[in-house]
Structure 1
Amino acid sequence: MSEYTDRDFVDVDFSNGVFSEYDFSHCTFTRCRFRAARLEEIGTTGCQFIDCDFSGAQMNASIHTRSAFTNCQFANANLFVSKFEECKMIGSDFAAANLDGITLIKGDWSYTNLRNSNLTKQSLRGIAFVEADLSQCKLEKADLRDADLTRARLGNAHLKGADLRGAVLGGIDFKSFDMKDVRIDAIQAVDFARSYGAKIQ
Structure 2
Amino acid sequence: MPELVVEGREFADEDWYGEDMVDRVYSGCTFRRVDLTEATTRRVTFTGCTFANVRFNASRHHDTALVRCVIERSELFDAEFTGCKLTGSTITDCGTRPLRVTGGDWSFVTLTGADLRGVTFTDVRMREVDLSRADCTGATLTGVDLSAATLTGADLSGTDLRGSDLTALDPSAVRLSGAIIDADQAVVIAQALGLRIG
Q: TM-score by structure 2 length? A: 0.91
More off after superposition, 190-199 vs 49-58: 190-199
Distance 2:90 2:105 in 1: 14
Distance 2:77 2:161 in 1: 25
Matched, 1:122 2:114: no
User: Among 46, 55, 80, which residue is 2:77 paired with?
Assistant: 80
DSSP-derived class of the 1:187 partner:
helix
Alignment of 1:28-107 (within 5 A): 28-107=25-104
The CA deviation at 1:179 is 2.0
Matched, 1:160 2:189: no
Identity of aligned residues (%): 29
The CA deviation at 1:103 is 1.8
Distance 2:100 2:186 in 1: 29
More off after superposition, 188-197 vs 49-58: 188-197
DSSP-derived class of the 2:17 partner:
coil
More off after superposition, 73-82 vs 122-131: 122-131
Distance 2:190 2:128 in 1: 22
One-letter identity of the residue aligned with 2:18: E
Matched, 1:186 2:179: no
DSSP-derived class of the 2:71 partner:
coil
Contact 2:120 2:139 in 1 (8 A): yes
The CA deviation at 1:170 is 2.3
Q: TM-score by structure 1 length? A: 0.90
More off after superposition, 23-32 vs 107-116: 107-116
Runs of 4+ in 1 over 6 A off after TM superposition: none
User: Among 5, 9, 13, which residue is 1:12 paired with?
Assistant: 9
One-letter identity of the residue aligned with 1:41: E
One-letter identity of the residue aligned with 1:115: T
Contiguous gaps of at least 5 residues in structure 2: none
Number of residue pairs the alignment of both structures matches: 197
User: Among 166, 169, 172, which residue is 1:175 paired with?
Assistant: 172
Distance 1:115 1:191 in 2: 24
Distance 1:187 1:74 in 2: 35
What is residue 132 of structure 1 aligned with on the other side? 129
RMSD: 1.7
DSSP-derived class of the 1:128 partner:
coil
Q: For 1:97-153, what per-residue CA distance to the aligned partner results, in whole angstroms no more than 9, with x for missing partners?
A: 111122212221111111222322333121121111112222222222211111112
Contiguous gaps of at least 5 residues in structure 1: none
Distance 1:139 1:52 in 2: 27
Q: Which has the higher strand share?
A: 2
